[in-house]
A and B are shown apart, each in its own frame.
Chain A
Amino acid sequence: MTALLDTLEGTLGGWGTTLLVGFVALAGLITVNAMFMVWFERKVAGWVQGRLGPMEHGPQGTLQTLLDVVKLLGKESIIPAQVDRKVFLLAPVVAFLPALAMLSLLPYDNNLTMTDVESGLLLVFAFGGVSLMGIFMGAWSSNNKFALLGGMRAVSQNIAYELPLLLSAMAVVLCAGSLNLGEIVAAQTGENGLWFIVMQPVALGIYLIAATAETNRAPFDIPEAESELVAGFHTEYTGMGFAVFFLAEYTYMFIVCGIGATLFLGGGDGPLLPGPVWFILKVYFLLFLMVMARWTYPRLRFDQLMNLAWKFLIPLSLINLLATAAVLKFVEVGS
């Protein structure tokens, strides 16, 4: 392994090696995560409803998703006649590509991050806007009423929930004193480090709600509300295009939970086990919460969704931010 890395470094240089190894690792992470999450989600859905979930292929049905993927790849990709061809084909790619960049920013361990950016936290949220464009491109180019309505809802929902998401993250940034994800983790570890879930429980709550809404997950899944909009923005997508949107959704879930684990749960901090394992465990704990929320709460109506964001979450996160700033100032003055 080391020999291989040395050869790589000889030919590509240090930066190229990081890029190559990182992208291979991330591609693996994306696929494995999506396959695991689909299985896990179906399993939890079954268990919550007193069923067993997938059982047929592999122990406890673990190979079910693999077979689903094979089936999906074999499906015919239908491009409807009246769509805007170029935009239609580009949309899934635009929706998915930012995920790769965002994943490369996550701190999987103290020093295990592919690109260490000074304001990594903001960059993650900035790329979110790009993927939103992808969703809307798909919605608009489909030339379908349901898709367009779904796209509209996705856009307005994302605008509304980006604010509380950022504001709750900002409260943590104030505590950590940095926008760098690695430094935020570092602020929670060490001698008298405390996970920010202790100092910022309100921010964690806001963050989880807003993150669920940002990823268009139930109970905020009105952009693809099956009962009203067929499948929302990806109504017209089949085969691979659909698969890429699907993959993007699960990757974004991983990303928001990864950020959540970094901000509130101390990233790779934990006893006994190595850092990356702790990080993955925390991420999947948050993902489990998201899945549970999906099978527990009914979907919000659109006006309820907007009211929740604008009238409740944003004021609350502003108050939280102000209170955090005030407390920090007092502590600073006091000491």
Chain B
Amino acid sequence: MSQDSTNSAVPVPGRSVRPTGFGGAVRFMVRSMLTLFVGLKVTLKKLMGRKVTEQYPHEKPVMSGAFRSAIALVSFDDLNGTHDCIACDACELICPSYCITVRGDRLPDSKKKRATEFLVDFSTCSLCGLCLAVCPTETLKYSSGYDDAGYNRGWIHNLLEPYADDPEAPELLALLTARDEAKRAARKAARAAKEAPAAKPAPEAETTPANPAPEGSDG
């Protein structure tokens, strides 16, 4: 389909120049008609080909590990699968958009603090990640949920909701103490290894049991 409005005889690359004369016109016509079938071939191939639609509510996409969505609490195996928020307020203080509110209390008969409320207004969160960086116990992570929706502005997520059936306080206290002791022991071992003649460096495994790798479950 030539649209050579300049009427010049110079062939434009990628464009078919309309030939002159009767024979040329007929050939042009035939060629133009053949292009119709080229188009039809493309669509027919597509018609038979693979479909890319995901039937969203019925089949949900798996998000990549790098996907960042609303923050969630990390569950730790050595704490019987509960979080380790000590309600230090660091995340609340550093949050540039003031969307985190953490309340905490001491566990009974202990100095250990524990979050009782972890509220996030995700509508103002900019996913900057400062709270993750500042968290001393590394109990914050990005979740991979992508289809959260609320009915009004200022919809508050309670991050503690999934931890409603945590272990009872004495049990938890025992777990936390046990972990602290394990940590202290590890640190002592590391120091001992360092002070000893550096003939052979301490094995890697001994220096790192402080925080096991976070489990990849959603908040």
Contacts and interface: CB of A to CB of B under 8 A. Distances in A.
Direct interface between A and B, CB < 8 A: yes
A52 interface: yes
B27 to A, nearest CB: 14
Interface in B54-112: 55
Nearest to B44: A292
Interface stretch (A43-51, A96-104, A155-163, A180-188): A43-51
A47 B48 CA distance: 7
Interface stretch (B34-42, B116-124, B204-212): B34-42
Given A48-B46, A49-B46, A312-B29, A297 B52 contact: no
Contact of A295 (B36, B43, B49): B43
A51 B51 contact: yes
Nearest to A295: B43
A50 B50 contact: yes
A51 B43 contact: no
A48 B52 contact: no
Interface string B1-44: 00000000000000000000000000001000000100110111
Main secondary structure of the interface of B (DSSP, over half): helix
Contacts of B42: 296
Contact of A52 (B36, B47, B55): B55
B53 interface: yes
A19 interface: no
A292 B29 contact: no
Interface in A295-334: 295-297, 312
| Interface of A (DSSP majority class) | helix
A52 B40 contact: no
A296 B37 CA distance: 10
B55 A47 contact: no
A55 interface: yes
A47 B49 CA distance: 8
Given A44-B47, A292-B43, A296-B40, A51 B52 contact: yes
Interface of A: 44, 46-52, 55, 292-293, 295-297, 312
30 contacts: A44-B47, A46-B51, A46-B53, A47-B46, A47-B47, A47-B51, A48-B43, A48-B46, A48-B47, A49-B46, A50-B50, A50-B52, A50-B53, A51-B51, A51-B52, A51-B53, A52-B51, A52-B53, A52-B55, A292-B40, A292-B47, A293-B40, A295-B43, A296-B39, A296-B40, A296-B42, A296-B43, A297-B36, A297-B39, A312-B29
Given A48-B46, A297-B36, 12 more contacts: A44-B47, A46-B51, A47-B51, A50-B49, A50-B53, A51-B52, A292-B43, A296-B39, A296-B40, A296-B43, A297-B39, A312-B29
